[in-house]
Structure 1
Amino acid sequence: MLDISSPVRVHVETLLAAQNDMGVCDAIEHYAPAGKPSAMTAPHLPKVAGIDSTVPPPAHTVAPAAATPYAQGEPQSPAVAPGALIQDRLAGWVSDLTTLHELTERLNRTTTLDDALRELLRAGAALVGARRGLVVLEPADGLGPDTTIGLGLARADLGHIETVPRSATSYGQLLDVNVETAAAALSEVVQADLLADESLDPRQREVADRLGFAASYAAGLATESAGRIGAAVWLYDEPAEPVERQRHLIGLYVRYATEHLAGLVALDRARTTVATLREELLPSRLPRVAGVQLAARHRTGPRGGGDWYDALPLPDAALGLAVGSVTGSGPSAVAAMGRLRASLRAYAVMEGEDPVAVLSDLELLLRLTEPARSATALFAHCEPALRKIVLAGAGHSPPLVVGERRTEFVETSLSAPLGMLACWEAPSVELRTEPGETVLLYTDGLLHRTGDPMDRAFARLHAAAASVPPGIREDPGAIADHVLRAVLPDGLDAVDSEEDVVLLAARFE
């Protein structure tokens, strides 16, 4: 039995224990020496081609020394001590484990599906020694999302690849096969020399020649729980294929990456469902009412929230405008928002000329049906022919009037949000606008997204409205866009914001 020093054993075992959660310890079993001890005297395999330069090679790896010739009659001995070869081989395993750990850590830091797919392509290219590639995301259940992302390939290049008959492509062979289990889908397709393959599809040969790739390696993306979700393909500029060691490493990495991608696919579907539900619950289009022009802007936070707006024609050529916010986030808040908005529309049709009565009925309904939830709301009954607005608010921010001669907040009475008091009631406020003035209704999310205290946020909103250029004052949509750009320098799509934003603009002629 070969003698391995105790420090070496402890070092390797400690690292393997740390890496066990990643599932990459299979590399040790794969590369474990077998057979006679003399088989271990061969030089270890070269390190994985194309490993990212940020992953440092092990400093203690020592290449086997060359054999030294001996004079005739002198006893010959091995060129390298067996212990040094074992340490060198163990160092190679440690290098592989370190590389996989570094690549999976990078993947774990991705939070969006597109970023994760791009990281998969970059890491896979490093592991198999390729320069370009593409990943086709196409879940087998048909629920999406379906997308194709390239590495080192422009959109036009991807378009050329998509002109190849699907059955002739390596990703098509992985995605279109009927599989009974996810394990069967975890396969690979190796095309080591495309141009030398006489059975190659003529269109595929033409595209390969046009784009300058001569070989490809494809791996299926599938899990036991989610099934097949896609395939990744890496392209070589010259005839080549990954060696056994590289294929084992890419297999370990793809197995882990696919689980991460499956989680992001499920998250993307949930967000899409909430966003679609929310869009359906909000007005599909704003009504056209003589004497007033309308425009609305809104964005939903990543978890989905309860901010909403509405505009509906009322009897006697009147118009009802409403904005509000339901506490909480996620699907439950979106559902509560839909119920609240539908109820307000019914009350507005019956008694819209009295905004206080509308909000009082809404408060009673909320307190009886959802006692654990509160909401803010503002309802305005407008008579465009008279440019007259009667409004009432429940814990909501005051509207802002923007015109050539004034930019000011409407003075409304202080009131608690709906559901906070046993009986809600607050006086209404009457407002008359000048021709060409615009009234802005908004939710608190617009102020919260600034990150400033509320007094500074109100001041920023007022300054943004006062700075509207004269050339766009006749377009409520342009006014809304200008205000949003001035109040939110980072834009509405800031990924670190949990706040919804609603801005409803009504310009009276």
Structure 2
Amino acid sequence: MLDIPSRVRVHVETLLAAQIDMGVCDAFEQYAPVGKPYTMNAPHPPKVAGIDSTVPAPAHTVAPAPSAPDTPVVTTGPGVLLQDRLAGWVSDLTTLHELTERLARTGTLPDALHELLGAGAALVGARRGLVVLEPDDGLGPATTIGLGLTPADLGHLETVPRAALPHGALLDTRAGRSGQPTEVVRPDLLAEEGLHPRHRDVAARLGFAASYALPLATEAAGRLGAAVWLYDEPAEPAERQRHLAGLYVRYATEHLARVLDVERTRACMATMSEELLPARLPRVSGVQLAVRHRTGPRGGGDWYDALPLPDAALGLSVGSVTGSGPSAVAAMGRLRASLRAYAVMEGEDPVAVLSDLELLLRLTEPARSATALFAYCEPALRRITLAGAGHSPPLLVGERRTRYVETSVSAPLGMLACWEAPSMELQAAPGETVLLYTDGLLHRTGDPVDRAFARLHAAASGVPRAARHDPGAVADHVLRTVLPDGLDRTDGAEDVVLLAARFE
């Protein structure tokens, strides 16, 4: 409860009227004491507005001091009512603060939608629900996520005509139209007159008897979708619960709009990168190929390529352009296309190929540099001639040896007035695999360079014997070992390319 000093004089009826007219926050702010703050003791009740709080009470709340034995306890009157009201407001604000902070920590769209469903269910006192994401701009993504509902349950709901469902009433109304519903309350579905028969059947089958729906819409974000919560028994949220849920959903909509923009940008950059890289790897006699590519959230300039060459040869290349974003992706596409042309003309001389690429980079991309590695492979002889420009050395993996292929130390392309470095030749044994990779694989480990190289070597040495015949299995094992705990699948700050070539 709140200890209100005698110096603070507030008219109770005026304060209650202000609460109704202005809302909790405005009324609390207007009638708060001005000047030196006084001590306030407001216990955090274990359950407010249907919420079982799972977080500790705020630091500014303490247990009320016990009253003296001779002091009479006042249990009625305007002062007690005012204290109860203020305590409820403080508790509501604390609850909203906790829930919005949890939502703000979500960084992906699925996580944000699940957090929205869970917090909303706690606010309105429901156990299950679903959120339908359908942005008004038509750019997607369109998805439905359930809370306490299996994919089969969501499938049953989809058999109900859309207009009969709560989210259909919210989403199928033209945005901005007068009379657009701001909520849909159905306190007793089975007793509701005019309910669609299919809706009644699905509700009985899934075991829910009431629903409450809110639109995910604000003036700034537009309309993104709708959230629906389901009750096991006939029920509806109280006015206080609706008010809290409305405040939370408006904040959640703004957060979802920001996350949605990030997701769209990420998907666009990934699509651009994938379209500028080979759609599939070629089939060449005597060698098996596999590649694993992970694109960073901002889009990077890492590339890979495998190109059939005359005389049954094969050209392999990996590289990375400095920078990130659309400009780096575009520069990567230009360099990769140019390297393919140079490889066709003089692929048997990797130094000449990289020299031509370096000249092109200095003339067309003077503000950029790039690392690159090109290998001219003769699968019938299992012979590889390669040259590198500031790039990490390949890794040879076999039954009897796992070692880095020592390449000459050289600067990246575009760093010197004229680039040139000697090539080297490698003879692979039958069944051995050559791994070409970009620096992003090492950087994502977070280790120093020497330790990252040691981790990569250990991962390649530990490839199970049963997996060594499949270059894809070798690449997967290396990725999972070098980047454990799912880091091989998540987006990182940099691109990752791992190209595996197994010689028969």
- TM-score category of the 2 structures, normalised to the smaller one: 0.7 to 0.9
Matched, 1:49 2:50: yes
Q: Which residue of structure 2 aligns with residue 103 of structure 1?
A: 99
Q: Which residue of structure 1 aligns with residue 167 of structure 2?
A: 171
Matched, 1:122 2:118: yes
Query: In the alignment, which of 289, 296, 303 is matched to residue 294 of structure 1?
Result: 289
Query: In the alignment, which of 7, 24, 27 is matched to residue 24 of structure 2?
Result: 27
Query: In the alignment, which of 428, 453, 457 is matched to residue 452 of structure 2?
Result: 457
Residues 51 and 6 of structure 1: CA distance in aligned 2, closer, same or farther (over 3 Å): farther
Q: Which residue of structure 1 aligns with residue 370 of structure 2?
A: 375
Query: In the alignment, which of 442, 447, 456 is matched to residue 442 of structure 2?
Result: 447
Provide the aligned C-alpha RMSD in A: 2.8
Cα distance in 1, alignment partners of residues 304 and 292 from structure 2 = 10
Residues 184 and 386 of structure 1: CA distance in aligned 2, closer, same or farther (over 3 Å): farther
Matched, 1:231 2:226: yes
Alignment of 1:236-275 (within 5 A): 236-275=231-270
**Which residue identity lines up with residue 93 of structure 2 in the other structure?**
L
State the SS of the aligned residue for 1:187.
coil
* Displacement over 6 Å in runs of 4+: 6-10, 30-33, 57-62
State the SS of the aligned residue for 1:415.
coil
1:359-400 CA-to-partner distances (Å, cap 9, x unmatched) read 111111112222221110000111222222111100011112
Q: Which residue of structure 2 aligns with residue 307 of structure 1?
A: 302
**Which residue identity lines up with residue 54 of structure 1 in the other structure?**
V
Q: Which residue of structure 2 aligns with residue 354 of structure 1?
A: 349
State the SS of the aligned residue for 1:316.
coil
Q: State TM-score, norm by structure 1.
A: 0.85
1:144-196 CA-to-partner distances (Å, cap 9, x unmatched) read 11111111222222221122111110011111111236x97671111111000
Deviation of the 1:403 alpha carbon? 2.2
Judge conservation of contact 2:361–2:413 (CA < 8 Å) in 1.
Answer: yes
Residues 111 and 79 of structure 1: CA distance in aligned 2, closer, same or farther (over 3 Å): closer
Judge conservation of contact 1:186–1:221 (CA < 8 Å) in 2.
Answer: no
**Which residue identity lines up with residue 170 of structure 1 in the other structure?**
P
Judge conservation of contact 2:294–2:489 (CA < 8 Å) in 1.
Answer: no
Matched, 1:365 2:366: no
State the SS of the aligned residue for 1:310.
strand
**Which residue identity lines up with residue 24 of structure 2 in the other structure?**
A
Query: In the alignment, which of 483, 491, 496 is matched to residue 488 of structure 1?
Result: 483
Q: Which residue of structure 2 aligns with residue 75 of structure 1?
A: none
Judge conservation of contact 1:133–1:153 (CA < 8 Å) in 2.
Answer: yes
Judge conservation of contact 2:301–2:332 (CA < 8 Å) in 1.
Answer: yes
Cα distance in 1, alignment partners of residues 420 and 265 from structure 2 = 38
Residues 107 and 7 of structure 1: CA distance in aligned 2, closer, same or farther (over 3 Å): farther
Percent identical: 76
Cα distance in 2, alignment partners of residues 79 and 6 from structure 1 = 17
Deviation of the 1:31 alpha carbon? 9.0
Cα distance in 2, alignment partners of residues 28 and 413 from structure 1 = 68
Consecutive unaligned residues in structure 2, runs of 5 or more: 11-21, 31-46, 66-73
Deviation of the 1:502 alpha carbon? 1.0
Deviation of the 1:454 alpha carbon? 2.0
Cα distance in 2, alignment partners of residues 370 and 56 from structure 1 = 58
Residues 59 and 215 of structure 1: CA distance in aligned 2, closer, same or farther (over 3 Å): farther
Query: In the alignment, which of 407, 412, 416 is matched to residue 417 of structure 1?
Result: 412
State the SS of the aligned residue for 1:308.
strand
Query: In the alignment, which of 87, 90, 102 is matched to residue 83 of structure 2?
Result: 87
Cα distance in 1, alignment partners of residues 157 and 334 from structure 2 = 48
Query: In the alignment, which of 129, 137, 140 is matched to residue 141 of structure 1?
Result: 137
Cα distance in 2, alignment partners of residues 307 and 332 from structure 1 = 13
State the SS of the aligned residue for 2:51.
coil
Deviation of the 1:79 alpha carbon? 7.6
Deviation of the 1:492 alpha carbon? 4.1
Q: Which residue of structure 1 aligns with residue 202 of structure 2?
A: 207
State the SS of the aligned residue for 1:145.
coil
Judge conservation of contact 2:269–2:297 (CA < 8 Å) in 1.
Answer: no
